[in-house]
Amino acid sequence: MQALVQAIKQANSLIAFTGAGMDTESRLPDFRGPEGLWRNHDPRTLASTQALAGNYPLFQQFYADRIKALHEAEPHVGHTILADWEKSGRLQAIITQNVSGLHAAAGSKNVIELHGSIRRIHCSLCGKAAGEEAFLAKQACSCGGRLRPGVTLFGESLPQAAFQRADEALSRADLILILGTSLEVFPAAQLPFIYPMLRAYVDLAAKPDPRIDHSYAQPIGPFLDRLDRALTAD
């Protein structure tokens, strides 16, 4: 870890890139693990434009359950440390594949949500914003349209504005912390490797990768806690 501590101290622009594994330590299920959200379901039948149009009750129930799970979740120590690093100027931005909003809940401001946010509800027909309570209550928009969360569904294009912001942040970075992602979801998975920089990867399933300079198969929250203590020890 000492080599990573020195790299962070010397970095001019540090970026965090987070995935589902970041949120599992807040007791939210991930997508591909043994208890993952997709384990017993075909995502194309749940989180898709086809479900929104053709099987809305199933679509609504799936996302309602996810939103209710978030009501029981809180940011863990790793989320808090990243927020503190941003406040102190050590961290420049968080690029996340997660839709939970837990980074913002921890106090982070410059969060780039590649796949949107499940907490932002709007009408699928007219685009009007709506409250989370209306979606959970299975209400329709005043125009008659179906309410949906502001996440990227299977069958939809990824939000180009978010990817542009991510690209701009990464173009200035000289160190990236890759936290809790399988690096299997494209095109997001290619982002940490577009520009030359040092790369550190922390994930329970982390394996040696020639593209990664520092790899740690450890829980993210405790690892970031130790890393933060080491950074402030001097």
pLDDT tens by residue, 62-74: 899 889 989 989 9
Do 3 and 23 lie in one domain? The reply is yes
Residue 172: which CATH number?
3.40.50.1220
Whole-angstrom distance, CA of residue 198 vs CA of residue 106: 26
Please report, to the nearest 10 degrees, the dihedral formed by the alpha carbons of residues 187, 160, 101, 91 taken in order: 80
Confidence of residue 33 (pLDDT cuts 50, 70, 90): low
Do 86 and 201 lie in one domain? The reply is yes
Do 202 and 191 lie in one domain? The reply is yes
Whole-angstrom distance, CA of residue 138 vs CA of residue 76: 31
Q: Does pLDDT of 234 surpass 70?
A: no
Do 4 and 103 lie in one domain? The reply is yes
Choose, from 76, 79, 103, 115, the residue flagged as catalytic: 115
Do 140 and 170 lie in one domain? The reply is no
**For residues 88-104, average pLDDT:** 97
Which residue range is the domain that position 102 belongs to?
A: 1-28+75-115+157-234
Are 125 and 140 a contacting pair, CB within 8 Å? no
Catalytic, 115? Answer: yes
The residue to which tokens 């914003």 are assigned = 129
Do 215 and 162 lie in one domain? The reply is yes
139-171 pLDDT, tens digit per residue, is 999 999 999 999 999 889 888 999 999 999 999
Do 213 and 146 lie in one domain? The reply is no
Are 149 and 121 a contacting pair, CB within 8 Å? yes
> Whole-prediction pTM value?
0.92
Whole-angstrom distance, CA of residue 231 vs CA of residue 215: 18
What is the overall mean pLDDT for the chain?
A: 92
How many domains are contained in the chain? 2
